[in-house]
Structure formats: C-alpha cells, structure tokens
Amino acid sequence: RPSKEGFDIVIGNPPYISAPTQIVSPELNEQRKRIVASKKYKSLNEKWDLYVPFMELGLQLLCPKGIFAMIVPYPLTNQKYGKKLRKMLAEEYRLLEIADLNGTKIFENATVSNCIPFIQNSQPNGELRITQIFEDKIIREVLSKSPGALKQDDKNYVWNLTEEERTGNRFANMNVLGDFCYISKGMVVNANENTEKGAFRKEDLISDSLDAIHCRKYIEAKDIDKYQVKRVRYLEWNTERCPDKLSRPTFRELYDRPKLIMNCLGTINVTIDTEEHFLHNHSIYCAVLWKDLKDVINKSISSSVKKFCKHKRLVMESMSKEVDLYYLLGILNSSMADQLLADQRGGDYHIYPEHIRNLPIPVPQRETQDAIGKIAKEILHRRETNTDYSELEEQINRLVAVLYQ
C-alpha cells in the first residue's frame, strides 16, 4: 500500500550485473555513471554489482516499519563490493531474517547462489533468524544471531551465517600471502572486446596436441587438483592474435617464473609449476614470489602494489626471500587452509584474489619450512606415481596446525 510515507512492503528480484559487465557495455556504463552522479546511493563500493543500488532504492521506498525482501546473490554476504551495504543494513535497519540458499540452484540459468534478506525499516533491535532451505524445499530456522555477531570483523564486514567461529582478525600479527607473492588471475583467452570483438574464440586457440603454432602448455582450473596437473593442452602462442589480441593478455613473464597455481571455486586446490611454465586462463590464480619478479615493471604490478599492498615493493622482494614455494604449497593444501579461507570469504563457493592475497602466513625457522616442503615434494612424487599419500597429508596438517596455535 503506497502512502506519503512509503510502501508497507517492497519485494523483488533485482538484476544481477557485475561491474565488468556494466563497464564493457556502453549503455550500462552510462547508466552506472548516472547512478553514481545522482548521489542517491551511499552503499556503492568499488566494483559494485547493479543489484546493490536496486536494494538501496527498495529500502528508500519503505514507510516506517515497512518490510523489505529481495532475492540476491549470496556474495552480498562476503564480497568487498557489498561492504558498505552490509554495514548499512546491520547498523541502520532491523535485520529480521537472512535465508541462506547457498548451494541450492534457485534459477535454472544462473550459476550464482542466493540469499534473501528480510529487513524492517526501523532501528536495529534484537536477534535475527538465519534460515536454510532443506531437501523438502521448506525453509526453516537453523540459528539466531545478533547483528553484531553476524559480522566476522570490522575491516571487511563479512557476514558469517553459520555457528562456526570465524574472524578475519584471528592472525592479525602475521604477514599475508600477498606480502610474499604477487597474486594474479590468468589470461582471458578470447578476442579483445573493443578491438577484435568476435574475431576468434578460446576454442580457436587451443589444441590437444603440440605443434609449431600451439607451442605452449596450457591448463585451466578443471585440469588441476591438489599437488597435480591432470590434463595439459596446447595454446597458440607468439602469433598475430595470441597473446597480444586477447581480451586480457596479462604479461608474459607471469608464466615464465616458478609459481603456485590454484583454482577459483570451492575447496582450494594448489599445485606448483617450477619448470613447465604453464600458460593458464582466468579460472586459475597464480602466486609468484616477489623476488622472482624483481626486474619486471609494468602497470599490472604497480597497480596491484598500490591497491592491495601495505609494503613497498622492495620490502616485499626482500620478505619473499624468507619463504619457500614448497613450504607455501604445503600450507595452502593443508586442512588449516580451509579455515583460513572461510575466515576471508565466509561461506561463499567462490575464491577471489583478495581472499588468496589476505591468507595469513607464518614464517617459521628454515628447518620447519624445509620439513613441510620436503613432505610436499614427496606428495607430488606420489601423485605422479599414483601412490597413496594420506599419511603425508596428515603429517603436514599436524605441522601446520602447530604454526597457527
């Protein structure tokens, strides 16, 4: 019922359109600029998705004590672009319920999981319900929380919709992986949208066999596992179109340095590439020790240092000499890494570069690093020979657990 004061109920399914998708579309990019210029929305933060101002507009339309509910992407609960909106919802409104639909396919053509916040236009008061959808398709309450207990930490304001204890500040005294390694997505293997739109697709560049044109080994996230590369294909390289005409070519030196390579969805799976110099697409993240990029200067690296690093590059190059890639491999594949990742991303299925970059990393004596690295090397060998290595994983888990006590 509309009134002079607003609506009793606002309900909706807003558009989910990421910042990169908006920016590459002339119409959506113009709309994005108009939304910012209107100064109507204080929830906009960095690479905000289009559903963010939709949610804030819905809240603005409420009458006092009116009720708001929208089905939105689950990343609202943990992504950096949603930080201002999460803070606003928890501190300026009454959160009644959050329906956690993570892992349930709600929309047939969508890959993202969802959640539904139920919000009252009144002062924060009391606890909120956390509900989940069960196999019988009925949504039931699983726990209740105060708005204060919902956030994991003040820095990122990530929401924790579980009973697990999570905090991004748990190891605040430690350095993070980004202090030791440059973290990057791989290349986007299709034609540049602006200059070469539609000229070629990813499939046009990949071959199952090595030849003079498809001359570099190439992998994607589905090709790797913990301590293992399961499948290798070959990418066209040093031709007129690849890499220079790719949508995101990254920079060549990224693939010619020793590096850790890992997936971007689900449980973190990490392996190492010291000799093969695999090329990889954006479904894989890589971590290269800063010291191994010492002589590489470009906008990608300088921008990353400026945006994400608390230390100068020279300092990080020096710090990276204190850690070994095989030691980091053991850390990131340990059971402790799952908890460290949950501290960063909450319950999300996606792994983003900022999650990897902010994983806390202890720097023990060289003997301890060597012990973990030696076991990691033996696991790599056993995976190649298809030999059981479960007891070695337990050894690493125990050694790593001690470092984080």
Asked if residue 371 has pLDDT above 60, the reply is yes
Q: What is the pLDDT of residue 89?
A: 95
Q: CA-based angle 393:280:188, to the nearest 5?
A: 135
Q: 289-339, pLDDT tens digit by residue?
A: 999 999 999 999 999 999 899 999 999 999 999 999 999 999 999 999 998
Dist CA 371 CA 367 (whole Å):
6
Instruction: Look at residue 164 and tell me whether its pLDDT is greater than 80.
Output: no
> In this structure, is the dihedral angle defined by the CA atoms of residues 167, 172, 176 and 179, taken in order, positive or negative?
positive
Helix (H) or strand (E) holding 57: helix 51-60
Per-residue pLDDT of 48-70, as tens digits, reads: 999 999 999 999 999 999 999 99
d(CA 107, CA 19): 21
Q: How far is the C-alpha of 345 from the C-alpha of 354, rounded, in Å?
A: 9
CA distance linking residue 336 with residue 334, whole number of Å: 5
pLDDT at 172: 80
User: Model's pTM, two decimal places?
Assistant: 0.73
If one compares 155 and 366, the residue with the highest pLDDT of the two is 366
Which strand (E) or helix (H) includes residue 343? helix 335-345
Read out DSSP for 125-144?
-S-EEEEEE-TTS-EEEEEE
3-state secondary structure of 54: helix
Confidence of residue 2 (pLDDT cuts 50, 70, 90): low
Q: Which two tokens stand for residue 208?
A: 């199952």
- What is the CB neighbour count within 10 angstroms for residue 366? 13
Position 3 pLDDT exceeds 60: no
Query: What mean pLDDT is predicted for residues 206-234?
Result: 97
pLDDT in tens, 98-147: 999 887 777 776 667 889 999 999 999 889 999 998 888 889 999 999 88
Residue-level pLDDT at 393 = 96
| Res 148 pLDDT > 90 | no
Establish whether the linkage from the previous residue to 243 is cis, with ω within 30° of 0.
yes
Identify the band that residue 1 occupies on the pLDDT scale cut at 50, 70 and 90: low
List, by residue range, all CATH 3.90.220.10 domains of the chain: 175-400
Per-residue model confidence (pLDDT) at position 163: 84
Q: Where does 175-400 sit in CATH, by number? A: 3.90.220.10
The CATH code of domain 2-150 reads: 3.40.50.150
Distance CA 397, CA 208 (A): 37
What pLDDT shows up at residue 168?
Answer: 65
Question: Is the pLDDT score of 39 beyond 60?
Answer: yes
Banded model confidence at residue 76, pLDDT cuts 50, 70, 90 = very high
Task: List strands edge to edge, sheet with 206-207.
Answer: 206-207, 233-236, 214-219, 279-280
The CA-based angle 159-266-400, given to 5 degrees, is 85
Q: According to CATH, where is 3.40.50.150 located in the chain?
A: 2-150
Spatial neighbors of 26 by CB under 8 A, at least 6 apart, are none
